[in-house]
Structure 1
Amino acid sequence: MRRHILVSLLLLSTAAPSSAESLKDAIAQAYSNNPAIAAARARVRQADEGVPIAASGARPGLDLGGSFTQSLSDSFADLGQIWTGGITLRQSIWEGGRIRAGISAAEARIEASRLNLAAQEQALITDTVTAYADVLRTQEIVKLNENQVRVLEQELRASKDRFDVGDVTRTDVAQSEARLAASQATLIAARGNAVFARQAYQRLVGRAPGQLEPLPPLPPLPESEGQALDRAATLSPALGAAKAGEKAAADDVRAAKAGRMPSIGVQASANYTEYSNSAFGASGFDPRVGVTAGMPLFSGGLIAAQVRQAQARQSEALETISLTERQVTEGVSNSWALLQTAEATITAAKSQTSANTLAAEGVRQENMVGSRDILDVLNAEQELLNSRVQLVQAERDRYVAAYQLLESVGAADIALEGTGVQKYDAAANAKRVRGKGWQEFGYDPNPSTDRARNTAPLMGPQQ
């Protein structure tokens, strides 16, 4: 009875196919937990703190201080021990626009960090698609080369059999042996490439690829190169981040120039002093309130150097915008060209594979009747393999080029639709920390034990 149960379970486990992993599954896993994206999300939160830091200059400050002195003189002026303690309240009224410029620069840096994160998310999606397609491509190429080795082994056995009966020469056998050895070496290389592809997939997704489903249909693409360029000029997150960085640099120039402006503030304090020698001072409270004002007249060239430094950063940011515009244009044009090339190659490779299949079969039949030699058969088999590999490669190239084009126009995140992963909200933390501006001890949890804030929740694939 137990044996029948075990046999039944074995048959069920053999018959039930394991669920295959889809491209959406891979993208969701990478988007949720990839360490590079998690680090980029942490950088956004770093930028979020720039606004509270800059705004703190306009808020009141409260200091607690104290001192103790012991006179060591034996003269009549020995005051003995003096204990002093008190509290001071400071409030800035005017800083020449430095605080406002600092807040504006911090907000621009937040915008730049969010757009940089969006650009990295787009790149991660494209890289994940590439890794997924590479795993499928290398698996298929390995299968084609394994089949080629089997075919050539059969050809070699047939050549040896015909040599034994004097139908072919030793040269024909040697040609079959050489072609089989070359095919075996190609198979080894193909298996090595499959290992590389699997490792790249694991680096991005966080787990080794299992049984992968075929690539799904491509999402909608721009209809022309011109349309893609127009979209990229408007929607490219990399270009938007460069422009936001220049805005922050311009605000830094304003803040540096404000260092030469006057500053005004009010201050209130209450100090208590205790004299051990009451003959030289009366112990008690000393409350005070006053207004402070100041303006730098000569800073030793410090302010001018700070302004020039900020201007140089703005100049760098302006050049970065020009560079990014060129890179975006290049990326769109290259991706469009690769896409068109891959589509044309697919058409040609399909036609070539069909023709080579017929040619290989014909050459084999002609060889059997003696009108073709072994080398003709081997060449026909190799040409058929080459056309099949070219088709597999072209189909992979087309898919990857399409996502590279989507990334260039800022639309690769369309792949997140239907994955079941919750899109990371890059603005939520900024709202949270702005509400903590008056909280002196509003720390976050220990980063080493709270890494979940860097991830996007996985809800499971949508049906």
Structure 2
Amino acid sequence: MRRHFLTAVLLASVAAPVSAESLNEAIALAYSNNPAVAAARARVRQADEGVPIAASGARPTLGLSGSFNQSLSDSFADLGQIWTGGLTLNQAIWEGGRVRAGVSGAQARIVASRLSLAAQEQALITDTVTAYADVLRTQEIVKLNQNQVRVLEQELRASRDRFEVGDVTRTDVAQSEARLAASQANLIAARGNAVYARQAYQRLVGRAPGQLEPLPPLPPLPESEAQAQSRAADLNPSLGAAKASEKAAGEDVRAAKAGRLPSVGVQASANYTEYSNNRIGSSGFDPRIGITAGMPLFSGGLIAAQVRQAQARQSEAMENISLAERQVTEGVANSWALLETAEATIQAAKSQTSANTLAAEGVRQENMVGSRDILDVLNAEQELLNSRVQLVQAERDRYVAAYQLLESVGAADIALEGAGVARYDPVTNAERVRGKGWSEFGYDPDPATDRARNTAPLMGPQQ
């Protein structure tokens, strides 16, 4: 039952799309509309709003107030009804550096969010390349196992025919039957792996893979591991994001310490009061202007706790830099080792496949004249299959390791060149937000109806 189910799923997924797809098209689709990257783009826009939020502390505020009171007393001094209305303007002059630190911290968070987005985009490209290569790999392994089943079916028929004439024993037939059953089980497993690979591709790209073109040539890679480590130290976006986050945390410490300092501001107001009983109160305007100043003397430990909390966040950010440095170093070293291993394996697997092809043919011929038994033939066929599968796996590993290396050095996005998709530019939104800094009602459209804001437009036939 499981075999029939996996076969049906695989055949249905293969039959649906008809046009050949390239790796560039897959990357363009993933980059354009992958939900994880779209969410990261929305986080960058969140960070963009941090600057006007922080800067608002140095801008004037204007407020309107009003009230109505009805006296319930019957005395001569009853004021009756009282209407009041007022307009108040406040402007901070000095906040102890809190606003400046807040703006600097917000700007650093914008840098961190953009670099985090770049890291996620590069990881998406690497994951898409991996999924694309896995689909090709699993499809090829399915073909190899299908061919192996056909070959072993022929071997089993030949063994049974030879058994009928007494040329081989019942043991030889049983060995052929067992090897065929094992090959059929391997084919079922290979088909299952192909289904899993296609589902991973669909999760990343947004649609099931059609007929995929072969992998294109790799982009230029670093010439040595040392060169790759040097580039990664300077260009890895995750490491850059960690450093920017530490800078933002340092500004948070300065902003928290500013809470201990005095603040100075200007306040202007114009109030109007209307009394219904003019015998007691006099209606009219009361304009005022003055300077306000304040300084906390005792906050119940609040300010000190806020400073310590900010310092702890900065300490965490510093440790995250060290963690990112180690992860980058490890990533480059692992990718380089995998790349070298895969290249060596490819050469060995090619030689092994060539030799096993000759050996399998020779063993079959020798078996026909009686100098080799059935088990020798079965083993030779299995060794040939193993070497072919190993070659397919090594070629996939080399390609994936190359993109993992490019991701570590911050260059996986080279795959976007010629991919038919416009790069998402986070600066555009930051400039738009800067233009709305003084706007009190500059809302964005409802996110439920404006999800295109998180995507990158396609420019090719993959639309």
Structure-2-length-normalised TM-score: 0.95
Structure 2 partner of 1:13: none
CA shift for structure 1 position 71 = 2.5
Write the letter of the residue equivalent to 2:188: I
Report the Cα distance in structure 1 between the residues aligned to 2:123 and 2:81, rounded to whole angstroms.
68
Structure 1 partner of 2:343: 343
CA shift for structure 1 position 115 = 0.2
Structure 2 partner of 1:257: 257
Give the SS at the match of 1:69. strand
Structure 1 vs Structure 2 CA RMSD: 1.2
Report the Cα distance in structure 2 between the residues aligned to 1:168 and 1:205, rounded to whole angstroms.
54
Report the Cα distance in structure 1 between the residues aligned to 2:437 and 2:222, rounded to whole angstroms.
45
Structure 2 partner of 1:24: 24
Write the letter of the residue equivalent to 1:338: L
Structure 2 partner of 1:420: 420
Could you tell me whether the CA contact under 8 Å between 2:149 and 2:184 is conserved in 1? yes
Write the letter of the residue equivalent to 1:210: G
Does residue 1:217 correspond to 2:239, yes or no?
Answer: no
Write the letter of the residue equivalent to 1:286: D
Give the SS at the match of 2:403. helix
Could you tell me whether the CA contact under 8 Å between 1:421 and 1:461 is conserved in 2? no
Give the SS at the match of 1:133. helix
Report the Cα distance in structure 1 between the residues aligned to 2:378 and 2:80, rounded to whole angstroms.
108
Structure 1 partner of 2:331: 331
Identity of aligned residues (%): 87
Structure 2 partner of 1:141: 141
Write the letter of the residue equivalent to 1:24: N
CA shift for structure 1 position 75 = 4.6
Write the letter of the residue equivalent to 2:359: A
Does residue 1:356 correspond to 2:346, yes or no?
Answer: no
Give the SS at the match of 1:167. coil
CA shift for structure 1 position 277 = 2.0
Write the letter of the residue equivalent to 1:47: A
Paired residues for 1:41-440 under 5 Å = 41-440=41-440
Give 4+ residue runs of structure 1 displaced > 3 Å after superposition: 73-78
Q: After superposition, what is the alpha-carbon deviation per residue over 1:250-290, rounded to whole angstroms, capped at 9, x for unaligned?
A: 00000000011111111111111111222221111111111
Write the letter of the residue equivalent to 2:29: Q
CA shift for structure 1 position 457 = 1.0
CA shift for structure 1 position 79 = 2.4
Give the SS at the match of 1:311. helix
Report the Cα distance in structure 2 between the residues aligned to 1:370 and 1:276, rounded to whole angstroms.
125
Write the letter of the residue equivalent to 1:42: A
Paired residues for 1:435-454 under 5 Å = 435-454=435-454
Q: After superposition, what is the alpha-carbon deviation per residue over 1:406-438, rounded to whole angstroms, capped at 9, x for unaligned?
A: 000000000011112111101111111011111
CA shift for structure 1 position 19 = 3.9
Could you tell me whether the CA contact under 8 Å between 2:19 and 2:210 is conserved in 1? no
Report the Cα distance in structure 2 between the residues aligned to 1:430 and 1:77, rounded to whole angstroms.
60
Q: Where do 5+ consecutive residues of structure 2 fail to align?
A: 1-16
- The count of aligned residue pairs is 446
Q: Where do 5+ consecutive residues of structure 1 fail to align?
A: 1-16
CA shift for structure 1 position 88 = 0.7
Write the letter of the residue equivalent to 1:180: L
Could you tell me whether the CA contact under 8 Å between 1:419 and 1:461 is conserved in 2? no
Could you tell me whether the CA contact under 8 Å between 1:91 and 1:266 is conserved in 2? yes
Give the SS at the match of 2:271. strand
Structure 2 partner of 1:459: 459
Could you tell me whether the CA contact under 8 Å between 1:268 and 1:288 is conserved in 2? yes
Q: After superposition, what is the alpha-carbon deviation per residue over 1:186-239, rounded to whole angstroms, capped at 9, x for unaligned?
A: 000000000000000000000100000000000000010000000000000000
Report the Cα distance in structure 2 between the residues aligned to 1:75 and 1:325, rounded to whole angstroms.
80
Report the Cα distance in structure 1 between the residues aligned to 2:461 and 2:98, rounded to whole angstroms.
50
